[in-house]
Structure 1
Amino acid sequence: MVKANWRQQAGRALTYLVLAIFALYFIMPLLVMVFNSLKELAEIRTGNLVLPPQAPTSEAWQKAWSSACTGLSCEGVSAYFWNSFKITLPAVVLASAIGAINGYVLSKWRFRGSEVFFALMLLGCFIPFQAVLLPMAQTLGYLGLANSVPGLILVHTIYGIPFTTLFYRNYYVGLPTELISAAKLDGAGFFQTFYHIVLPLSGPIIVVTLIWEFTNIWNDFLFGVVYSGPASQPITVALNNLVNTSHGVKEYNVDMAAAIIAAIPTIFIYIISGKYFLRGLVAGAVKG
């Protein structure tokens, strides 16, 4: 009995050790970036990249935020950071709301040809970004939305709808159809049933969809660099311009501080709501 307990404890300790090693391996790049963003450039040049800073300073962060050069502009990444919020939040809300209605229709209010319609919509999940660059640019030009924040919101909303529709539709398939039928018998209409019956049961899938869409749109570079102008560029484009700026001394601490600034929103989202994301996946967000 004692020997069996010892084996269990040893096995558990080994499991925790392996998990700790993997966790350290995974988080090490972020730690290196944080350490070096808090160092003076002279300390970085000594080559001790993985060690904590000897005299931590926030100068690199201040410069990255307000005075670093991103191409021809030397006003930091702050304006582009807020541009990303202006683009991401409306696009996330619109794509999620439209996807919820689509998923509700395709799962509980099916019509003739609904399965074909759903299959055709799913093609949008597999079309590469590069294939839509030219037609989307022409569309934005016709609408007068080229090189603007509203144009980027429209692009991300359209590209996000197939994914959000897939998530909501697969989730709503698992909801009891009897609830919808009972609401119809009570005289509830399409939107009344959705608002009072379906939406209150949609918490897990809403969290999954919001996190998925926010992460994809915030981290997007291709659409941002193609469809934005100097005043509407997102943080990812500004970060690329900052890192590739060639004049003057290469300030690695500023580059790393700017990269962390760009990553803070998504890191915050996953820290706060990561467990809800996993619950939503387990609840059937991407099954079927």
Structure 2
Amino acid sequence: MTTTSTPAVPTPDVLGTPRQTERRAPRGRFSVGRTLKYAALLFFVVIVLIPVYVLLVTSFKGAGDASPARAWALPQVWTLENWQTAWTALSPAILRSLQMVVPAAIIAAFLGSLNGFVLSRWSFKGANVVFTLILFGMFIPYQAVMIPLNQLVLGLGIPSGVPSLILLHVVYGIPITTLIFRNYYMTVPHELVEAARVDGAGMLRTFWSIILPISIPSFVVVLIWQFTSAWNDFLFAVFFSSSQNGPVTLALNNLANGALLQNYGVSMAGALFASLPTLLVYIVLGKYFVGGLMSGSVKG
């Protein structure tokens, strides 16, 4: 006796509409394209983190264990001696770098905000020419003006070390800070400035009471940018400071040259110490940096 199977018949739902009793198979969560994308991202992350791995591993190796032949191997004996030696050598320079970059970043950001406001919302004859000349400073190579700049600083009687480096980073930071703030203020509604003018507020009063409170996103962007560029600078440090009054980049160079043939671990630990402040700044303020960029601080 044979039986015949009947095909699945749609069953009506509450509203009388036929409804299929069979369900579709669930679609895969990850497609081939998405898998390849994540694989490529993982590959580039590994490439970027390889130097960090070598730095970190070598910083815990002893003098005999830290060698190019064992760069990829884990330490035979883990030690903190390299970190102690590097901190002893770099801690005074790290303090001097903080004394330099903090006021340099704040002063350059404040001057850039003033310039950006005037050039964007308080127009005057020749404003575009002034803005072009300010931006021209961004494209002058430091090496081209280093000798006359050195003579100028010496002629003004500015002490070498932190004072002269603060002045130089403020001056060379004004073009980029002016550009960022001007582009950000171009997105501010004209009604705010016009309302302040109607109420009798002058340029400085309008800037202090109206514009400055809404400039936090751009200040975050500029402060992170200036802090990083001033902290990582080496050329100005070579010309305008010495090992006794210079920043951490100069001290790190002296440490690496002194330990190059003796212990790579000290150099690696010193490099990690020197890069730690900028890394912490990006970790703490990274989301605010991205938010400041997206809020119009780099829009033309």
Deviation for aligned residue 1:12: 3.0
Counterparts of 1:235 and 1:170, CA distance in 2: 33
Q: Work out the number of aligned pairs and report it.
A: 277
Counterparts of 1:213 and 1:118, CA distance in 2: 20
Give the match for residue 30 of structure 1: 52
Query: CA offsets, 1:233-264, max 9 Å, x none?
Result: 111111111212279x5210000000111100
Give the match for residue 240 of structure 2: 227
Higher helix content, 1 or 2: 1
Mapping of residues 101-180 of structure 1, within 5 Å: 101-180=114-193
Gaps of 5+ in 1: 67-75
Gaps of 5+ in 2: 1-23
Cα 1:204–1:246 shift into 2, 3 Å: closer
Counterparts of 2:290 and 2:51, CA distance in 1: 24
Aligned with 1:256 (options 260, 264, 268): 268
| Residue type of the alignment partner of 1:6 | G
Deviation for aligned residue 1:187: 1.9
SS at match of 2:183: helix
Deviation for aligned residue 1:9: 3.9
Deviation for aligned residue 1:82: 1.1
The reply to whether residue 39 of structure 1 matches residue 39 of structure 2 is no
| Residue type of the alignment partner of 1:185 | V
Which deviates more, 238-247 or 160-169? Answer: 238-247
Which deviates more, 52-61 or 211-220? Answer: 52-61
Cα 1:256–1:181 shift into 2, 3 Å: same
Instruction: Please say if residues 37 and 254 of structure 1, whose CA atoms lie closer than 8 Å, have aligned partners that are also in contact.
Output: yes
Deviation for aligned residue 1:193: 1.4
Q: Percent identity?
A: 45
SS at match of 1:41: coil
Mapping of residues 195-206 of structure 1, within 5 Å: 195-206=208-219
Give the match for residue 84 of structure 1: 97
Counterparts of 1:230 and 1:60, CA distance in 2: 20
Rg larger in structure = 2
| Residue type of the alignment partner of 1:147 | S
TM-score, normalised to structure 2, is: 0.87
Give the match for residue 287 of structure 1: 299
Counterparts of 1:204 and 1:46, CA distance in 2: 45
Which deviates more, 5-14 or 152-161? Answer: 5-14
Query: CA offsets, 1:184-213, max 9 Å, x none?
Result: 111222222112211121121111101111
Cα 1:94–1:27 shift into 2, 3 Å: same
Counterparts of 1:2 and 1:188, CA distance in 2: 68
Counterparts of 2:242 and 2:75, CA distance in 1: 38
Mapping of residues 66-81 of structure 1, within 5 Å: 66=88, 76-81=89-94
Instruction: Please say if residues 234 and 249 of structure 2, whose CA atoms lie closer than 8 Å, have aligned partners that are also in contact.
Output: yes
Aligned alpha-carbon RMSD (Å): 1.9
Query: CA offsets, 1:126-185, max 9 Å, x none?
Result: 011012212221221122114231111111110111110011011101111110000111
Instruction: Please say if residues 137 and 146 of structure 1, whose CA atoms lie closer than 8 Å, have aligned partners that are also in contact.
Output: no
Counterparts of 2:25 and 2:30, CA distance in 1: 10
TM-score, normalised to structure 1, is: 0.90
Deviation for aligned residue 1:118: 0.4
